[in-house]
Amino acid sequence: MSMRILRAGLAGLAIILVALSEGVAHEIVGNRLFPATLGIDDPGVNDELSIPTVAAFGTGDDPSFRQRDISGEFSKRITETFAVSLGVTHSHLGTPGGPTGMGADGFQNLETTFKYRLFKDPVHEFVMSVGLNIEWGRTGAQRIGAEPFNTTTPTLYFGKGFGDLPDTLSWIRPVAVTGQIGYAVPGRNSTATFGVDPDSGNPIVDTEFHPHVLNWGGTVQYSMPYLKSAVIDLGLPDFINRFIPLVEATMRTPVANTLTSGSVTTGTINPGFLWIGKGFQIGVEALIPINRQSGTNVGVIGQLHFYLDDLDPHGIGRPMFGSTASPATPLARN
């Protein structure tokens, strides 16, 4: 999953809509609510707004840069099963060892994702979607790493809840897993940089090959709302019953055209939690690099996410074409 920022007045709209909130909704499959996650995209197709998403971490460069991202994403259903999202990220790269605030700033490339829900099984709490993500080259600042060419990533998403386990394993029923796997294809195989050898004065050519990358990851979640509504009510405070502790993994593996990039897998393990409110959720996770190439310190990411299909189901949260299907069960709204 990439992090993105939404421009214009949608932030103010979302804040106004929170006051009108009366429920909790997202991708509901049987008794299961699959929430929006921070590291990878969830398997649902919904009207939603993530703004802001804020992350801070040390990059895997040598020397490492301190990077801060502020991002957002707006997703709109065209039909009940098909949605288009738009997002972009603003990044600040701090100078290694330099004063705070020094470095480079700019927007990453604009991204568009088209997602279609293929299959939904309420009995087994299973959902699968396919998507196509396009990163539009030359829409961001090359000084902070935005590429001058498009990158296209077809992706498969899935989610599975364990509510169909027998009564002897009822305490595991609140567990769910989600995952995604995508294949990123750059629009350019290589980039050549021309220069002059300072010693001989001869022309030189430096060629960077752009790899094809397997983007993959997953989450393991334990839903306190599901525990209360579909397993057992322990009489816990409502504040506790809205938590979903989870661990995410986000990985990138170069698999082709890797002459200059290498083929080392990079990524982070992200333990954290989501808190499901009425029409919105808050998420916070740590970003733990899996190796030196992935980063130099533990970072952090936080997000405020709005469920527009619940905040305004007859307006901005309604599919553009067709009617809205009602949730399979009211349990996930408790």
The helix/strand/coil state of 278 is: coil
- One-letter amino acid for residue 68 of the chain: R
Distance from C-alpha of 300 to C-alpha of 321, rounded to nearest angstrom: 39
Residue 4 lies in a domain: no
Helix (H, G, I), strand (E, B) or coil at 10: helix
CB proximity list for 201: less than 8 A, separation 6 or greater:
none
CB-CB contact of 115 with 133 (8 Å):
no
* Residues in Cβ contact with 243 at an 8 Å cutoff, skipping those fewer than 6 apart: 224, 273, 274, 275, 276
Query: Phi and psi dihedrals of 136, rounded to 5?
Result: -85, 110
Please state the domain count of the chain: 1
How remote is the C-alpha of 158 from its chain's centroid?
Answer: 14
Rounded to an integer, what distance in angstroms lies between the CA atom of residue 33 and that of residue 225?
A: 9
CA distance 51 to 141: 21
The CATH number of residue 185's host domain is: 2.40.160.40
3 in any annotated domain: no
Q: How far apart are CA 313 and CA 316, in angstroms?
A: 7
- pLDDT per residue over 209-225, tens digit each? 999 999 999 999 999 99
pLDDT of residue 25: 43
Collapsing DSSP to helix, strand or coil, 305 comes out as strand
Q: Strand 82-94 relative to strand 66-79: parallel, antiparallel, unpaired?
A: antiparallel
At 95 the pLDDT is 79
120: nearest Cα among 158, 155, 85 = 158
Inter-residue contact 273 to 281 (CB < 8 Å):
no
For residue 20, tell me if it sits in a domain: yes
Per-residue model confidence (pLDDT) at position 60 = 92
Judge whether 5 lies within some domain: no
Domain assignment present for residue 142? The answer is yes
**Which residues on neighbouring strands pair with residue 212, listed in sequence order?**
256
* Partner residues linked to 112 by β-bridges: 86, 134
C-alpha distances (whole Å) from 292 to each of 34, 91, 212, 263, 319 are 32, 21, 21, 14, 44
Question: 278 in a domain, yes or no?
Answer: yes
Give the range of the structural domain holding residue 269, as residue numbers without chain letter.
10-333
Give the pLDDT of residue 324: 59
Report the alpha-carbon distance of residue 189 to residue 217 in Å, rounded. 25
Query: How do residues 149-187 score in pLDDT, each as one tens digit?
Result: 999 999 999 999 999 999 999 999 999 999 999 999 999
pTM comes to 0.87
CA distance 37 to 219: 8
Residues of the chain with pLDDT under 70: 1-26, 97-102, 323-334
pLDDT at 3: 40
Q: Encode pLDDT of 112-154 as tens digits.
A: 999 999 999 999 999 999 999 999 999 999 999 999 999 999 9
Say how many Å lie between the first and final Cα of the chain, rounded: 29
